[in-house]
Amino acid sequence: KLVEELAPARSLARHPLFQVVLTLQNTGLVADGGVLDLPGLGAEPLLLGRAMAKFDLDVIVGEAFGAQGAPAGIRGMLTAAADLFDEGVAGRVAGALVRVLSAMADDPQARVDAVDVLGADER
C-alpha cells in the first residue's frame, strides 16, 4: 500500500522503499549455548551457511556474551548484494561501521556526524 501511495520510480534492480536493513538481535540469548529461553518450548540455533542478500546491504548485529554470561561486546554480519558490491567494497563498508560503533562506544556523548568514518589508509 505504501509503495502504491508513494509511487516511487520503480526498478527491478532494487527495493522501491529502502536498500539497507539493520537488524538488532536482542532476544535474550543465554550464555551456556546461545539458546533463547522460551519456557515450555525447545529451541536451538540453526546454521544456514552463506547468506544471500535480500537487499543491497543487510547488517545484523547482536550482543555477545562470555562463558560466564558477562557482556563481551557486539558481533555482527554484513551481507552485500554481489551485483552491486565486490568483496573489497563490502569489507570497507563493514570497516566503517566498526569504526563508527567503536567511536560511539568510546564516547557515548559524541555526535555521530563527528565520527571519522574513513580509516587513515582510505583517506
What secondary structure, in 3-state letters, does the chain show? CHHHHHCCCCCCCCCCCCCEEEEEECCCECCCCCCECCCCCCCCCCCCCCCCCCCCEEEEEEEEECCCCCEEEEEEEEEECCCCCCHHHHHHHHHHHHHHHHHHHHCCCCCHHHCCCCCCCCC
Q: Average pLDDT in the 30-59 region?
A: 72
Q: What's the pLDDT band for 34 if we cut at 50, 70, 90? A: low
Ranges of each domain in the chain? 2-85
Rounded to two decimals, what is the model's pTM?
A: 0.70
Q: Average pLDDT in the 90-96 region?
A: 92
pLDDT of residue 1: 85
